[in-house]
Chains A and B, each alone.
Chain A
Amino acid sequence: MTLLVLALPSLVGLLGFYVIPFVLSISLAVVDNSVLWNFVWMQNFKEVLSSGAFQTALKNTGIFMALCVPLNMVMPLFIALLLNSTKSLRTSFGVIALIPLVIPTGSTVHFWQSLFGLNGLINSLLFPDNPVNWLNTDYARWIIVFIFIWKNAGYNMVLFLAGLTSIPKEYYECASLEGAGSMRRFFMITLVYLTPTAFLVLVMSIINSFKSFKEIYLLSGEYPHSSIYMLQHYMNNQFGASNYQKLASASYILSIFIIAMVLGLFLGQNKASRYL
């Protein structure tokens, strides 16, 4: 009984601030406007789904995640593998790797602008005669991916290192005794036993890729170039325009995607751990 009392504040807070208002906001999504409550059921959803801005935002968010998450998993894995073989500098590398995460966005945004902006360093070094505000071109997506990886690779690297060090050495010794080459060892031992860590890295990468909205917003404002206009921009602008109906519908669509994704992750993880 006391256990319930202990957990109660958190439960109440979560329900009260997150879950219940979210369920209530469906009432916003099915009405016409905030003043006259005409039920229009699915019309808002239809409007949102067919709006060009939403589709662009959806496509961009999807592409961004598809680019960032794999890159941000493979690269830290490589670095963690390299670091795993040299025992010495591990902690200092951990600190250095985590520093980009700790630096607040407000401080680094200015630096990125002075690199990629109209009078930026890249322009002066490579294109002195033809400067271009790189954040306003199609390359903007790659810039944001680069910034994202700069910031978050350290976190994933620390996670992977932990996972790597938790694989008992005996497996490797046993395999090399039985004559397995290093490629075989990598694929059959390392990757297999790294699966739970990899799942956690995947989840955290997805969360962090949503958080990268902050950098994009601080760099390019409310209406960035069309290749980096994300779902969060769409919703932010609807919020600013007090267009709560569209906002609520968009939230619901987005959350359906996320719930589907979480379910997929959970089921995949259960299957994978049974295989182990």
Chain B
Amino acid sequence: MFPILVTAANSFMSSFEVTSRYTSAITAANGFNISGHIHYVEISLIPDFVTIGQYLKLLFGSPLYLGLFWNSVGITLPVIGGQMLISIPSAYAFEMSKFKYKEIVFFIYITVMLMPLQVVLVPNFLMAELLHINGTSLAVILPGIFNPFGVFIIRQALKGMPKEYIEAANVDGANHLQIIILIIRPMTASAIAALTVLTFIEYWNVVDQAVVFIKDSSAEPLSVYLSRLGNESFGMIFAASCFYMLPPVFVFLFGHNNMVEGIQLSGIK
């Protein structure tokens, strides 16, 4: 919790103060606090002068920031939407089908899911070249939509669900699509919430794939920008981090009850 409080509190400091407190630069304000030749970081929760200078500079001084914000949104939202559209029917099909080699196919899903990012980066890169989407954000979005984690987590939730509901619906003559929309979706609401939050975090935070696939620095997502900001203009970093932190926290608070249940459900096979 502490890192979060520090980031939030420090975002109200003026840029001068951030520089004096956190960098090794020696300024007028911290001249008295040097031991040896190095000025140490003073982490504090209470700024000397409470200003919203950082935020102002962030939002109005550099219009770049908001653009990048929408870039991040433009990556994360399609991934989540696509996952919903694709993983839920797929998990339903896995659960219901009596295909002989179903488990072997699922095993492939799990193996792909376990692969670390770098192993999948090469195949994704090859595919992006082939489809000529290399260099656009589609190259990050499309592999994200087909990430097997979604199918996994929803199928686990479905395993714990009594099948009688579906059988009753079948008797009443519902077709598969109706079953999915009217029964599966409400019943796996917690798993869906967990999937949404986890996928949101993962793609809001995307650094690697974005660095590889998106070369145009006006199209890069916020996460990449933030990691470079630390080396450039130090003053804005806390406000930038706060702003960056807000959407995931917001999404989390929105769905946390469901999410905790969803994570729990995925553990009970």
Contacts and interface: CB of A to CB of B under 8 A. Distances in A.
B186 to A, nearest CB: 18
Contacts of B6: 111
B158 to A, nearest CB: 13
A262 B110 CA distance: 8
A177 interface: no
A25 B126 contact: yes
Among A16, A28, A114, the one with the most B-chain Cβ atoms within 10 Å of its Cβ is A114
B1 interface: yes
Contacts of A109: 227, 230
Contact of B146 (A13, A120, A266): A13
Nearest to A25: B122
Interface string B233-269: 0000110011011001100100011011001111111
Contacts of B126: 21, 24-25
Contact of A103 (B3, B38, B175, B237): B3
Given A14-B146, A18-B146, A3 B124 contact: no
B117 A13 contact: no
Interface stretch (A43-51, A68-76, A179-187, A209-217): A209-217
B134 interface: no
A124 B41 contact: yes
Given A14-B112, A107-B241, A251-B122, A99 B252 contact: yes
B17 to A, nearest CB: 14
B114 A207 contact: yes
A268 interface: no
Contacts of B105: 11
Interface stretch (A81-89, A134-142, A168-176, A253-261): A253-261
Given A107-B242, A214-B207, 19 more contacts: A3-B92, A6-B92, A6-B93, A17-B127, A17-B142, A102-B201, A104-B205, A104-B248, A106-B222, A107-B4, A110-B7, A111-B7, A114-B43, A203-B114, A206-B114, A207-B113, A210-B116, A213-B117, A262-B107
17 contacts: A2-B176, A3-B176, A10-B151, A14-B146, A20-B123, A101-B201, A115-B43, A119-B22, A121-B43, A128-B40, A129-B36, A158-B263, A159-B267, A161-B264, A162-B263, A232-B117, A259-B111
